[in-house]
Copies of this chain bind each other. A is one copy, B any other.
Amino acid sequence: MEYTIQKLGQLAGISTRTLRYYDEIGILKPSRINSSGYRIYGQNEVDRLQQILFFRELGVSLESIKEIISASSFDREKVLKEHREKLLEKRKQLDLLIENVEKTISSTEGKIKMTDKEKFEGFKQKMIDDNEKKYGKEIRGKYGDEVVDQSNQKLKNMTQEQYAEMERLSADVIETLKKAFATGDPAEELAQKAADLHRQWLCYSWNSYSKEAHAGVAQMYVDDERFTAYYDAEQPGMAKFLRDAIFIYTGMKK
């Protein structure tokens, strides 16, 4: 049985380009060239191609296949074993890679968690927990026990992704705030956007939003040095600027 290049390609499920390439690198030459210059393949070439494709599927390079094909079954086994060693080595490296990627991911998550634990639980939860001591009566008095408890509960129930989204919002608030701060006007559009982002951020831990509560928190940012320090770390005066923006946003400016 003789095959043209396309017929053989179809038979083997490979492209004609591949066959021409195999011819070019001398790994599979046609049995003859007809008068029109067409490549004609015979049974031997079909068998050889079968072997080539078999080893190719094992991930052996064409260079190595060339050796394998023209080697005895004894040497073939040797080459295969070498190839196996290479694969095992590759897998070891891959495993290392995966491990490192996972470490990185979990450290990133850890950071988010840390950010959340420090800036959120150790800061925020402390803000609520701890502020219970300072502002506890005040907040609970102003917004009721339910609001505070629900907030605490909501925090505890947040998923990783929600943390992340919250973290993103938080960063967005800071960034927008920084840009807005440059204008110096808390009534300006960017500052109002920051206030709105801050509201969205608040809603991640609060079940119900009220202008009064929002404004109350804003005032806290100025009154409590820990919050002030957090926002002023970016730019001195930012805590106050945020408070002013939120006051305007909530219509609570006195």
Contact = CB atoms under 8 A, between A and B. Distances in A.
A91 B164 CA distance: 29
Nearest to A112: B73
A210 interface: no
Interface string A34-75: 000000000000000000000001110000000000001110
Interface string A61-103: 0000000000011101100110110011011001101101110
A73 to B, nearest CB: 7
Indicate the size class of the contact surface on chain A: 20 to 34
A77 to B, nearest CB: 5
B87 A94 contact: yes
A156 interface: no
A108 interface: yes
Given A58-B100, A90-B94, A72 B105 contact: no
23 contacts: A58-B100, A58-B101, A58-B104, A59-B101, A72-B168, A72-B171, A73-B108, A73-B112, A73-B167, A73-B168, A74-B164, A74-B168, A76-B108, A77-B105, A77-B109, A80-B101, A80-B104, A84-B98, A87-B97, A87-B101, A90-B94, A91-B95, A94-B94
